Structure 1
Amino acid sequence: MKYKEIINKMTREEKASLMSGKDFWQTMDVERLGIPNIFLADGPHGIRKQAEAADHLGLNESIPATCFPTAATVANSWNTELGEQMGEYLGKEAVAQKVNVLLGPGINMKRSPLAGRNFEYFSEDPYLAGKLAAGMIKGIQFHGISACVKHFAVNNQEERRMSIDTIVDERTLREIYLTAFEIAVKEGKTKTVMSAYNMLNGEYTNENTHLMKEILRNEWDYEGVVVTDWGGSNDRVAGLVAGNELEMPTTAGETNREIVSAIESGKISEEVLDECVDRLLDLVFTTEKAFKEESKTIDKKEHHQMAQKVAEESIVLLKNEENILPLQEDKKVAVIGDFAKEARYQGAGSSIVNPTFLDNTLDSLKESGINSIGFEQGFDRYGKKSKKKIDKACALAKEADVVLLYIGLDEVTEAEGLDRQSMGIPENQIELIHALHEVNPNVVAILSCGAAVEMPWINKVKGLVHAYLSGQAGAKAIQRIVTGQVNPSGKLAETYPLRYEDTPAYHHFPGKEVSVEYREGPFIGYRYYDTANVNVLFPFGYGLSYTTFAYSDIQVNKDEVQFNITNTGEVSGMEVAQLYVGCQSEAIFRPKKELKGFTKVFLNAGETKTVTIPFDDKTFRYFNVITNRWEIETANYNIMIGTSIADIRLEGAIFIEGTNVPYPYRKEKLPSYYSGKANKVSVEEFEALLGHKLPESKWDRTRPLGYNDTIAQCRYAKGLFARFAFKLIKFSHSFLWKIGKRDTANLIMMSVYHMPFRGYARMTGGIINMPMVDGMLIIVNGNFFKGLRHVLRERKKLVKAQKKAEGTINTVKDDKGEVL
């Protein structure tokens, strides 16, 4: 241990105290030993440090910070160096605000387009997500503080996220859902990992020794800290044994006492606690150095310019019929859409950033060179229909040569804690698109949202620029793209299906009750569409440019693939070359193609460059469930270079001598997986893939409700009061939504409706403890007065204990009872 000398001086209670927060965002300190507290803050795309009343939901405004594009946007840049640069800016701001641990990036896979937090995640592909995350981590940690990769792992839905059990086979887990984390740990060298709320195959992730010890610690040699997601601790002692150092936020000492009791009873060894303390102390002392060595001021304008640069490289041109873009200076332009007046530039929830500046489309039109003849709102951003708004927009559109139409999803549709209800944009926007097309066919849509949407209206627009959620400088970045000052180079990091029903997880998303079954196995995103030959709207890796590129002269050897790219157009631009690999053997089921490398190249008009993409340890591997390790199949492999998964420009082949181990599957038992048509897998076939029977996926309506049950389950409660509370909360949500208080309605669903009962003790900072939760459950299960008495009695005990603790807070005794 690095800090054995300090640890030997600590009492057992002091050591345990370090294992949970001091308050909502800070860890505990031990002043007498010179151990400071450290500050953790949300920050996937900007620092969200709250100066006053802290919360994890984005309710209270934070200290101003640069709001960079979200991860879903940055992923479209396919530029790891750009991600690292952005990370450096984030790290510098974190140091300026004295933030030790920046809670990001998020690297969960986009299993379904409806997952509510997709805007915070990079991609449906683990290789791309991992490489971009590793770059960002390096940039953040360059300044001495820590990044925190989240949410480890298989946290791919928001509904019931704190208690849902994710059922996934081991190979899919390793290849799809853990590979990005592996890259972030091994290449990014992240100092902190955040465990997910959910269960994995029957165990909460931060208690799952297979995930936390066997894989994270032993296989990946991770030596950093694991922190729970806020309120994400179930059994604190089990979490400690699995190697979870830090529980957040504070529980006012309740779980610390559980740790001390477990040691005193012999349930766990004190060495387990000492090892966790040692790792936490290393995080504390190494990140604290950053505040002594770094400048405490930042150039806000310079950081704003960086946010603009990231946005410009990440915006994707999806359609450009008749070369309607870039806009010609002599064209009269009508600007229409509520998002032009008030930009949609970031997601909602714990990642909300209070921007230092915020560019406005309407204010900067003249500066951009766009010849605007006026603006009309066109639609209400929250979906309320208005014929008057449409008529006024159409009247303006008739006078214009080109219409710039700003559309997308609103803030309450894409939010932490809630999944989207559909893949469509609001109907009032679609009606506007059709109406505008009738009076002026020259419509260029500017789309702002953080995830894939259906586009049945695509034929009604000539141009489509997808800005995603492009941060505080997004408005100017968009204008520079549409005017041609910047040549678009973004490529989609996720597939856009024609309709939601085409998605591979359609029949099994989200899990509504006990569990969610990942029956599609490894066939998520393009792996499914490409292998099963399902038509899509826009394929993975797709994006247009104002120039053209030609590929030639592929050469493949055992270490790399080399080829030439030529800019055959008239303007300079950047091209993302993508390496896909496909195994020609059919002994083991695989997707037809998988991304195994990429590079972004800048080329002047007429210029040719030779490009090399090296192979690495992930190029040919697969996870063998019999040997329980990564293997390589002896086979011929197709080496494909493309501009997207659907546009392969060059092909080669190579024979690879593999590890020659037994094949893990019987083909006749897994027909859906061998065909790739894994969107509707039977129970029997999924059990054959899992290697065991499926657990019960439905709630047991007959048993009493417990710690990990939610208000949603109170509809089945024995207690009349609990059933009434359930109906009241449902009514409140519906009523608030109808009257336009949608943020509050969402908050009810996230923090009340889907919160497990244990969460009320874990998230209230000591106001409610677990004995009081016991009383709440007595009420829920049919004994109102007995439960109420229990709650009041335990609350009285808690207040008395807290007052006693406050009186002795500065008095620390050693094992002999002497004051230190």
Structure 2
Amino acid sequence: MRTPGGSRGRTAVQPCGFHGIHGLHGFHGLQRGGATVTEAAETAESRTGTRGGSAADRERETVVEAALGRLGLDAKARLLAGQDMWSLPGLPEIGLRSLVMSDGPIGVRGVRWTADDPSIALPSPTALAATWDPALAHRAGVLLAQEARRKHVHVLLAPTVNLHRSPLGGRHFEAYSEDPYLTGRIGAGYVRGVQSGGVGTTVKHFVANDAETDRFTVDNLVSARALRELYLAPFEAIVENAHPWGIMTAYNSVNGTTMTEHHHLVNEVLRGEWGFDGFNVSDWTAARSTVGAIEGGLDVAMPGPETVYGDALAAAVRAGRTEEAKVDEAVRNVLRLAARVGILEGAEPVVTELPEQVDGEALAREIARRSFVLVRNENATLPLRPGTVALSGAAARDARVLGGGSATVFPAHVVSPLDGLTAALPEGSLTYAVGADPNQELAVADKGFTLRAECRDRDGELIGSGSAPNGHLQWMGNDLPEGVTHDTLHTVDLRGTFTPRVSGTHTFGIKGLGAFTLTVDGTVHFEGTQLPTEDSPFTAFFGAPEERARVDLTAGETYEVSLRQVVVQPEGAPLRMVGFSLVHQEPRRDPDELIAEAVEAARAADTAVVVVATTERVESEGFDRGDLRLPGRQDDLVHAVAAANPNTVVIVNSGSPVELPWREEVAAVLLTWFPGQEGGSALADVLTGAHEPGGRLPTTWGPLADAPVTQVVPVDGELPYAEGAFIGYRAWERDGKTPAYPFGHGLGYTDWAYESIEPSDGDGDSAATVTVRVRNSGARPGREVVQLYLTPVEADSERPVRRLAAFAGVGAGPGETAEAVLGIPRRAFEVWDEDAGTWAFVKGSYEVAAGRSITDRRVVATINV
């Protein structure tokens, strides 16, 4: 059976307890002593639903062609334009139901931004990649398909497989890794898992959408070699190994052409060279030109109904500006998707036997603990020894479990670190102090607020109401409460109560655009208009909040609060939306006093645990980061606590790298990413030793001053990728810089000895095969990620010093051994020849080194290809 990395498995691995379609199994990455482990096997789900394959595929194509032949030009053009924010129109005349899409990638929100229908919130994509386990990604996909079906969603707008080009990228928590091979393996597992549940995926954002600054207009200048070897590589691997049913094209341009019109990359590369036969949907509002988009290979322009397709596309055909055959090809791709997900009459869906139900909470907890990366553990500080624990950090109480922007979902509950440790540790052994609060500005009203949204017409009559799980209201397109339309809606009142946790001066404010009235405890504190500060259709969602009131309140008392917006739809807006936030900040205590309280508690405890975090104003969709520092006085808190207690453990709650200036002062550092709704329980599992941390770094961590790629701000609309094919660990090695923690690094609770490495000839699926034997030399069972790095013996300045070529997870008990059989794909020996415009296989001698990270290589051999 062919694997995503190109190896052929010698033995099967242990089934994980749920069945895929046709009786196939998903897999755990953990094996016990004496086992031989191959890279995660590609399951047959990845081969289903492809044009021209099985008899069922051919039958679907017949139904698609028949349906296409019954449609007139206007119906075809209408099908390619969204009918609203999240769906395509149904066409009853051919038995086509409306196709529904929803944002991902860590949960399925559904078509409404509401907590009335909560979603499972998995850990961030950086966390999923940190597991280095494509089979676990597959299981995550199965769960998300289950969630999508529950919410009547046919297509998930995920996964994001852009690369971590620079640590300043604001949305990196939503992507997997700096390495294209690791990204492709994890992404392929995710796609296969989702589609095994009969739900489509849209791999995004195609391509080079690696930063947020001016993302709607930036022209990224990327060499052909860097495009092929880095940025296109994950997409290519996923198309080849998982056959996604959709691709989303990005806002940005590449080398002068916007991606929604990029004929070369979409028609010639994606569809031509790679054979992609799914549908291509624009990022929301990205399509700009009717003829340019249809000629460039864009199938669907979202959202609707006001798009460059629909009536405009039909008119362009009638005027002779484009051919109806191109419209037919786009419609064919959409109908094929509809057939695959089961909404085209007469076509059997790809999946007819669904996977068994998944326990979402249990899987979220498992992914979280297996993603945590223990980067430092002096004197075996972890697991915690018996005794008292002093916990501090605002994020320990108010956990940040997911990133900001379109990845946001509303889980039914969130387990914070404080919750998790309180439940796991003996009663009376845990104390808590805030210590330092990273929120330097107002945040969305949440803790202590109970709110609803009331919609009124111009006469002040109530026409509908909806839930508001916190102070953030976001209705796009027709995502409005029942009975409400944009034409009748005049004002929205976010109304309810607030019960403070602490007494003092509370600050209230507004994030959004338009005319607002803010009332607290019966007093109007602001009545005026907030205007945009930048030209972006999403300023209301991603812009900075404005402080508008300071009010003295008493803890435990309940106060009425309301925020009214007069709804105005700007002329020329790409979509109709209602979006604003009531924001709040608790009384600001003296930061030195807060730190002093935490230090006093730490000094009296056996172990001090400090939770530090980023905020939504540091990591989110919509903007990039200005630095890698932790916000607020959190660094000062860690320095002070570490000075008071040598057994200080720091938990880093961020989606992507931050600087850790105190890392050599503390006993242990555990990176937990954005850990999802069960993050606190998973943290307790790991700190107490019930489970070991299973993660390895998917991205290099180091100070910004040494980071090799830091330019994310365009100049005159252009952003040159001047570093070429050198990003991440490739660039760190080229520059001779030592990061804080290298790519692939991660510790467990046991030790591993690498005993041997044995290369052998490859087969049809791999250019070479390497068998690595490891032994658990510690005192408890554990899991190791065996990483294989490839280096050309003859130095070549145009190629990275070494690159990740294969990996596999193995497990063993104390004293036991395990083997990892690693197939090295042919692509690992290839470079993109810009002159010839093709891949060139570079023959010669190569060093293959297996170990625990890019810098911790334990056994080495030489192969000739």
Conserved in 1, the CA contact under 8 Å of 2:166 and 2:709? yes
Partner of residue 209, structure 1: 263
2:807 equivalent among 581, 598, 612: 598
Partner of residue 707, structure 2: 503
Show the 5 A alignment for 1:567-582.
Answer: 567-582=776-791
- Cα distance in structure 2, aligned partners of 1:237 and 1:180: 29
TM-score (norm. length: structure 2): 0.72
CA distances 1:533-554 after superposition (whole Å, capped 9, x unpaired): 2111000000011111011221
**Matching residue's letter, 1:517:** P
Partner of residue 5, structure 2: none
1:425 equivalent in alignment to 2:630: yes
Partner of residue 363, structure 1: 419
Conserved in 1, the CA contact under 8 Å of 2:422 and 2:430? no
Partner of residue 106, structure 1: 160
**Matching residue's letter, 2:821:** T
Moved more, 67-76 or 612-621: 612-621
Task: Report SS of the residue matched to 1:275.
Answer: helix
Task: Report SS of the residue matched to 1:460.
Answer: coil
Q: CA deviation at 1:43?
A: 1.2
**Shift in alpha-carbon separation, 1:545–1:348, aligned structure 2, 3 A:** same
Moved more, 259-268 or 398-407: 259-268
Task: Report SS of the residue matched to 2:339.
Answer: helix
**Shift in alpha-carbon separation, 1:295–1:582, aligned structure 2, 3 A:** closer
1:556 equivalent in alignment to 2:765: no
1:127 equivalent among 172, 176, 181: 181
1:544 equivalent in alignment to 2:753: no
Task: Report SS of the residue matched to 1:277.
Answer: helix
**Shift in alpha-carbon separation, 1:377–1:297, aligned structure 2, 3 A:** farther
**Matching residue's letter, 2:832:** F
- Cα distance in structure 1, aligned partners of 2:121 and 2:378: 33
CA distances 1:682-723 after superposition (whole Å, capped 9, x unpaired): xxxxxxxxxxxxxxxxxxxxxxxxxxxxxxxxxxxxxxxxxx
Show the 5 A alignment for 1:372-383.
Answer: 372-383=429-440
CA distances 1:79-113 after superposition (whole Å, capped 9, x unpaired): 11111111111111111111100011100000011
**Matching residue's letter, 2:227:** L
1:313 equivalent in alignment to 2:370: yes
1:48 equivalent in alignment to 2:109: yes
CA distances 1:273-331 after superposition (whole Å, capped 9, x unpaired): 011101101111221356995789967xx2100110111111000111121111012x2
CA distances 1:193-244 after superposition (whole Å, capped 9, x unpaired): 0001100000001211111011100110000000000011121321111221
Show the 5 A alignment for 1:328-727.
Answer: 328-329=385-386, 331-369=387-425, 372-383=429-440, 386-497=591-702, 499-506=703-710, 508-559=711-762, 560-586=769-795, 589-656=798-865
Conserved in 2, the CA contact under 8 Å of 1:62 and 1:353? no
**Matching residue's letter, 2:393:** G
Higher fraction of strand: 2
- Cα distance in structure 2, aligned partners of 1:50 and 1:16: 23
Aligned residues: 644
Q: CA deviation at 1:587?
A: 5.4
Q: CA deviation at 1:483?
A: 0.9
Conserved in 1, the CA contact under 8 Å of 2:366 and 2:682? yes
Partner of residue 335, structure 2: 281
**Shift in alpha-carbon separation, 1:75–1:297, aligned structure 2, 3 A:** closer
Q: CA deviation at 1:170?
A: 0.1
Q: Percent identity?
A: 32
Moved more, 355-364 or 84-93: 355-364
Conserved in 2, the CA contact under 8 Å of 1:495 and 1:525? yes
Task: Report SS of the residue matched to 2:361.
Answer: helix
Conserved in 2, the CA contact under 8 Å of 1:18 and 1:277? yes
**Shift in alpha-carbon separation, 1:604–1:286, aligned structure 2, 3 A:** same
1:155 equivalent in alignment to 2:206: no
**Matching residue's letter, 1:504:** P
**Shift in alpha-carbon separation, 1:503–1:8, aligned structure 2, 3 A:** same
- Cα distance in structure 2, aligned partners of 1:145 and 1:373: 44
1:238 equivalent in alignment to 2:295: no
- Cα distance in structure 1, aligned partners of 2:416 and 2:173: 21
CA distances 1:109-129 after superposition (whole Å, capped 9, x unpaired): 000111011000000000000
1:36 equivalent in alignment to 2:245: no
Conserved in 2, the CA contact under 8 Å of 1:596 and 1:618? no
**Shift in alpha-carbon separation, 1:253–1:104, aligned structure 2, 3 A:** closer
- Cα distance in structure 1, aligned partners of 2:404 and 2:307: 31
Partner of residue 523, structure 2: none
Show the 5 A alignment for 1:745-760.
Answer: none
Show the 5 A alignment for 1:226-305.
Answer: 226-252=280-306, 255-288=309-342, 302-305=359-362
- Cα distance in structure 2, aligned partners of 1:589 and 1:429: 41
- Cα distance in structure 2, aligned partners of 1:159 and 1:544: 35
Partner of residue 683, structure 1: none
Question: For structure 1, which runs of at least 5 residues remain unmatched after alignment?
Answer: 55-59, 657-820
**Shift in alpha-carbon separation, 1:426–1:366, aligned structure 2, 3 A:** closer
Conserved in 2, the CA contact under 8 Å of 1:404 and 1:443? yes
Conserved in 2, the CA contact under 8 Å of 1:237 and 1:258? no
- Cα distance in structure 1, aligned partners of 2:670 and 2:421: 17
**Matching residue's letter, 2:742:** P
- Cα distance in structure 1, aligned partners of 2:677 and 2:342: 29
Task: Report SS of the residue matched to 1:557.
Answer: strand
Question: For structure 2, which runs of at least 5 residues remain unmatched after alignment?
Answer: 1-60, 344-348, 441-587, 763-768
CA distances 1:356-402 after superposition (whole Å, capped 9, x unpaired): 33213333334313563311111123137622211221221121111
Partner of residue 130, structure 2: 76
CA distances 1:495-524 after superposition (whole Å, capped 9, x unpaired): 012x21212222x32225411010011110
1:15 equivalent in alignment to 2:80: no
Q: CA deviation at 1:33?
A: 2.4
- Cα distance in structure 2, aligned partners of 1:552 and 1:599: 16
2:120 equivalent among 56, 66, 91: 66
Q: CA deviation at 1:633?
A: 1.3
- Cα distance in structure 2, aligned partners of 1:86 and 1:527: 29
Partner of residue 115, structure 1: 169
Task: Report SS of the residue matched to 2:807.
Answer: strand
1:325 equivalent in alignment to 2:376: no
Moved more, 168-177 or 370-379: 370-379
- Cα distance in structure 2, aligned partners of 1:432 and 1:513: 41
Partner of residue 200, structure 2: 146
Task: Report SS of the residue matched to 2:383.
Answer: coil
Task: Report SS of the residue matched to 1:407.
Answer: strand
**Shift in alpha-carbon separation, 1:188–1:453, aligned structure 2, 3 A:** same
Q: CA deviation at 1:437?
A: 2.3
Show the 5 A alignment for 1:795-810.
Answer: none
- Cα distance in structure 2, aligned partners of 1:296 and 1:572: 30
- Cα distance in structure 1, aligned partners of 2:678 and 2:300: 36
**Matching residue's letter, 2:373:** V
Partner of residue 220, structure 2: 166
2:86 equivalent among 9, 22, 25: 25
Higher RCO, Cα 8 Å, sep 6+? 2
- Cα distance in structure 2, aligned partners of 1:253 and 1:620: 44
